[in-house]
Chains A and B, each alone.
Chain A
Amino acid sequence: MAFPHRPDAPELPDFSMLKRLARDQLIYLLEQVTSWKKDLFIEADLMSPLDRIANVSILKRNQHEVDKLYKVENKPALSSSEQLCFLVRPRIKNMRYIASLVNADKVAGRTRKYKVIFSPQKFYACEMVLEEEGIYGDVSCDEWAFSLLPLDVDLLSMELPEFFRDYFLEGDQRWINTVAQALHLLSTLYGPFPNCYGIGRCAKMAYELWRKLEEEEDGETKGRRPEIGHIFLLDRDVDFVTALCSQVVYEGLVDDTFRIKCGSVDFGPEVTSSDKSLKVLLNAEDKVFHEIRNEHFSNVFGFLSQKARNLQAQYDRRRGMDIKQMKNFVSQELKGLKQEHRLLSLHIGACESIMKKKTKQDFQELIKTEHALLEGFNIRESTSYIEEHIDRQVSPIESLRLMCLLSITENGLIPKDYRSLKTQYLQSYGPEHLLTFSNLRRAGLLTEQGPGDTLTAVESKVSKLVTDKAAGKITDAFSSLAKRSNFRAISKKLNLVCGTGMVRGVGGFIPLWSTFLGGNVLERRSWQGLDEVVRLLNCGDFAFTDMTKEDKASSESLRLILVVFLGGCTFSEISALRFLGREKGKREFIFLTTAVTNSARLMEAMSEVKA
């Protein structure tokens, strides 16, 4: 069943305002270009978000005079318009594309007007490249500060999947400013946030930058009533494990199997049972989806079958109807039933595809291995399983995922295994993945144990840490904890692994966030009581309450928590937290993520070789 909307649940703020704001801003920018017709070139990554905000007809309406729409891609553009407008992310390759176009015009002796709209902002590096290419004076630049796309009533996405790689691999902080701006916008629209918490270095930086922005523009939110009581910032690398585990709730599985993009998914002919593909919007408005999205997959099929039977029964009612009843039925109910029927058959089709894929993959065995890794037993068996997985060339991304899971849960692979698995991986999937391994190592996802890093060594250090608070010992232990994940220690401390079978969101495993957001931190307004865990995580944390704002907050708003994922979050995590919110203390979570992600996307981001 869905999480039924409880009458006592706090009401969510209206995020559709964000869409309108973005659309109005874009239209304004387009109208700024002079009145002649212009052609608009849109970067591929922006097309889906743009779709959710403003469809083609709105763009083409007369005032903005957009004539033709093109996609920014490798082919040369054949546009005859006198004005070209480019809507792009601030990427170097986009600059090169635009430059090639402008320079081609120059060579052909043609002058046109060019405008570049950067979304969400312009980076100076882009200007530099435009200069280098000799076209800086020929184009005018603007920024479209669109950074918050509502994907659902409780889910906002910044649609910046590159955040993960840029920050967690390259150490580049360019997007932190974007996050701060987005938070600033949210606090402007929905009132200040009385309580702010966070864990992770990036969270801390984003928070501090955001605070500075607020101070600079003080007065905008003074005296307003907060709509959201708490905000929680989380770094992706504080908990990789949850993101790497197999997803078992329906929405997560749909994402894993079909790739949900900007809240919608493309179902191919095998799902639609026709020869056409269908793009389906997946959110709370799809009544069927809404009921199954957070359900464990094993329940979904049964649920859908039951629903199909109910639907059939409803249809059958018309047999006993007279003309009047029939007329009524056709005008009032039939449309709804037909729509439900359509949605139902789509989701049943999707389930079948998912099941087919799972049987092919030998899903049971996979889950068993994952579980063994989480619990920490049968490690040799698990390692053999991974080795075989690689030997059989099952899937480069899956093999990587399993290796990373092993590495994180075991504080790194033992050197012998690291060397052997790496060699086999390169032999099975290509020698160029040497680069992928280098990336994974840098990001801390797949590492080798150094001497003294074996689990027993660390565990003994750690156990000393948590029972003996003598300062000297703590510092000693710290120095070797460095960037270790300490997963096993933390999970034991917090009882995160809870046997087989579905618990919340992730089969048999509670995401770390659930513990933080489960109440203690929010209730106590501090990290007190979780100090040891925070120390084991060895990253920054903060908790800050502004009493002046808190006083103005209604009790309703104090039950609303905005969780900000820096680096992405999975549908399983969202599902687990939705469940948590409604189960404990009648809270409601709202999610803001730099992008929705899954284990495959995380692995792909680290891979140097594009499949």
Chain B
Amino acid sequence: MNRTKGDEEEYWNSSKFKAFTFDDEDDELSQLKESKRAVNSLRDFVDDDDDDDLERVSWTGEPVGSRTRPGSFQSLSDALSDTPAKSYAPELGRPKGEYRDYSNDWSPSDTVRRLRKGKVLIFLKRTLSKEILFRELEVRQIALRHLIHFLKEIGDQKMLLDLFRFLDRTEELALSHYREHLNIQDPDKRKEFLKTCIGLPFSAEDSAHIQDHYTLLERQIIIEANDRHLESAGQTEIFRKHPRKASILNMPLVTTLFYSCFYHYTEAEGTFSSPVNLKKTFKIPDKQYVLTALAARAKLRAWNDVDALFTTKNWLGYTKKRAPIGFHRVVEILHKNNAPVQILQEYVNLVEDVDTKLNLATKFKCHDVVIDSCRDLKDRQQLLAYRSKVDKGSAEEEKIDALLSSSQIRWKN
């Protein structure tokens, strides 16, 4: 600042922006008037030339000494017109320059220059009251983002939520609140906390997700307590044969479903731990359900259960196999779990696409399927080539020979 003391005196005496003190705290009305005037007369604190001085802030990029445009109170006065009668008591610091136009956001370069080490923002947070600060930031998107990030880092959850509330950013408010659950380790406490998240201003879809999260944890706590009890009692076969490696708490839904299909497959719909109950409660699509149940039963080598998953009875009483996930997937999962060849073969046969079927059959050595496929494709060469892969003198070899010498088949090659 290049002003001398004399200049400042002159300024104070002639300026239409009255200075004042905060000592007079008489009645409410005068307080309100004072407050309004205070904010209107908010001095800016900076001098552009003096960047490194911590204590000073400039609101705009305008050079020192420029005249203020009259209509420029717009944003602030408008904002103030519906302010409730609160008394502000901000520390304003020594008034220095003229009132500046608050309606401009800081340009990026200005912002960066001034916020270079985050100095300015911190000063603001400390010395101004929250409301004034929030109003100023409302029109300064960049500074706002910085403050939000800072509050997150510092862990000042309260101020962060206040800020979002003030800005009417309801969804971010809800998400910030929800985020806190990650810091709560105790499952019951976390569950209680999640309950407080339901009903927050999430979007419609997210509200449903939050509800599901709560319900899931609630169920998991019950299942975990129950199963731990069963396991320690040592009477249940499934737990004895396959002791649990980890708790089910806080696991995703699909993992919980897998667990349920593994340990509680046959339970009736009424129990919390039954797979069917989970499916119904969380509206798990058929595809996902079948995939998960298959993986679990295959791991237990429960081939009959696998069979039942895909068997449907049509109205004539005939059974038919169907899969919402594609039989090639089924085959892969079965193979991964070392299913016996007969089982694999049965499902390879159900693969619709002939090429895929042949590939899988060859890969998994399902001889009969390969042979039959070659016959269906009338591919003599491939059948011949495959002959060398089957055991000498086996039934498969005989079958191949029979086909090769058959006069019924019109081979294409």
- Whether A435 pairs with B175 at a CB distance below 8 angstroms is yes
Question: How far, in angstroms, from A176 to B253 measured CA to CA in the complex?
Answer: 42
Residues of A within 8 A of B145 (CB): 170-172
The reply to whether the CB of A122 lies closer than 8 angstroms to some CB of chain B is yes
- Whether A427 pairs with B288 at a CB distance below 8 angstroms is yes
The reply to whether the CB of B252 lies closer than 8 angstroms to some CB of chain A is yes
Question: How far, in angstroms, from A208 to B146 measured CA to CA in the complex?
Answer: 20
The reply to whether the CB of A205 lies closer than 8 angstroms to some CB of chain B is yes
- Whether A435 pairs with B178 at a CB distance below 8 angstroms is yes
Q: Given A205, A388, A434, which contacts B210 in the complex, CB threshold below 8 Å?
A: A434
The reply to whether the CB of B148 lies closer than 8 angstroms to some CB of chain A is yes
Question: How far, in angstroms, from A393 to B285 measured CA to CA in the complex?
Answer: 15
CB nearest neighbor in B for A430:
B252
Question: How far, in angstroms, from A154 to B142 measured CA to CA in the complex?
Answer: 35
The reply to whether the CB of B112 lies closer than 8 angstroms to some CB of chain A is yes
Residues of B within 8 A of A225 (CB): none
- Whether A208 pairs with B109 at a CB distance below 8 angstroms is yes
Question: How far, in angstroms, from A39 to B112 measured CA to CA in the complex?
Answer: 36
**B126-151 near A? 1/0 per residue, CB < 8 Å:** 00000000000000001001101110
Starting from the known contacts A212-B109, A427-B254, A431-B212, 11 additional A-B residue pairs (CB-CB under 8 Å) come to A125-B118, A170-B149, A171-B142, A172-B146, A173-B115, A177-B117, A201-B108, A392-B291, A424-B285, A431-B253, A608-B182
The reply to whether the CB of A152 lies closer than 8 angstroms to some CB of chain B is no
- Whether B112 pairs with A176 at a CB distance below 8 angstroms is yes
Q: Write the nearest CB–CB distance from B163 to chain A, whole angstroms.
A: 14
- Whether A125 pairs with B154 at a CB distance below 8 angstroms is yes
- Whether A173 pairs with B287 at a CB distance below 8 angstroms is no
- Whether B252 pairs with A428 at a CB distance below 8 angstroms is yes
- Whether A92 pairs with B154 at a CB distance below 8 angstroms is yes
Q: Is the interface of A mostly helix, strand, loop or mixed?
A: helix
- Whether A431 pairs with B109 at a CB distance below 8 angstroms is no
Contact (A432, B149) CB under 8 Å given A176-B112, A177-B112, A212-B109: no
- Whether B142 pairs with A173 at a CB distance below 8 angstroms is yes
CB nearest neighbor in B for A424:
B288
- Whether B113 pairs with A212 at a CB distance below 8 angstroms is yes
Residues of A within 8 A of B411 (CB): none
Contact (A121, B252) CB under 8 Å given A129-B154, A391-B288: no
Question: How far, in angstroms, from A204 to B181 measured CA to CA in the complex?
Answer: 39
Q: Write the nearest CB–CB distance from B300 to chain A, whole angstroms.
A: 18
Within 8 A of A (CB), among B86-119: 108-109, 111-113, 115-119
Q: Given A91, A124, A170, which contacts B122 in the complex, CB threshold below 8 Å?
A: A124
- Whether B216 pairs with A431 at a CB distance below 8 angstroms is yes
**A187-215 near B? 1/0 per residue, CB < 8 Å:** 00000000000000100110011001000
- Whether A124 pairs with B108 at a CB distance below 8 angstroms is no
- A and B contact pairs by CB, cutoff 8 A, 10 listed: A123-B117, A124-B54, A125-B150, A173-B115, A391-B254, A423-B205, A426-B253, A430-B250, A434-B213, A609-B182
Question: How far, in angstroms, from A176 to B146 measured CA to CA in the complex?
Answer: 13
The reply to whether the CB of A128 lies closer than 8 angstroms to some CB of chain B is yes
CB nearest neighbor in B for A165:
B149
- Whether A173 pairs with B146 at a CB distance below 8 angstroms is yes
Question: How far, in angstroms, from A423 to B149 measured CA to CA in the complex?
Answer: 28
- Whether B178 pairs with A434 at a CB distance below 8 angstroms is yes
Contact (A435, B154) CB under 8 Å given A124-B117, A125-B122: no
The reply to whether the CB of A483 lies closer than 8 angstroms to some CB of chain B is no
The reply to whether the CB of B153 lies closer than 8 angstroms to some CB of chain A is yes
- Whether B254 pairs with A432 at a CB distance below 8 angstroms is no
Question: How far, in angstroms, from A290 to B143 measured CA to CA in the complex?
Answer: 46
The reply to whether the CB of A166 lies closer than 8 angstroms to some CB of chain B is yes
Give the most central of A122, A171, A201, A204: most B CB within 10 Å: A171
Q: Write the nearest CB–CB distance from B192 to chain A, whole angstroms.
A: 16
CB nearest neighbor in B for A128:
B122
The reply to whether the CB of B22 lies closer than 8 angstroms to some CB of chain A is no
Residues of B within 8 A of A176 (CB): 112
CB nearest neighbor in A for B117:
A124
Residues of B within 8 A of A125 (CB): 118, 122, 150, 153-154
- Whether A92 pairs with B115 at a CB distance below 8 angstroms is no
- Whether B119 pairs with A124 at a CB distance below 8 angstroms is yes
Within 8 A of A (CB), among B288-344: 288, 291, 325, 329
Residues of B within 8 A of A174 (CB): 115, 118, 146
**A154-185 near B? 1/0 per residue, CB < 8 Å:** 00000000000010001111101100000000
Give the most central of B111, B175, B209: most A CB within 10 Å: B209
Question: How far, in angstroms, from A128 to B126 measured CA to CA in the complex?
Answer: 10
Within 8 A of A (CB), among B193-215: 205-206, 209-210, 212-213
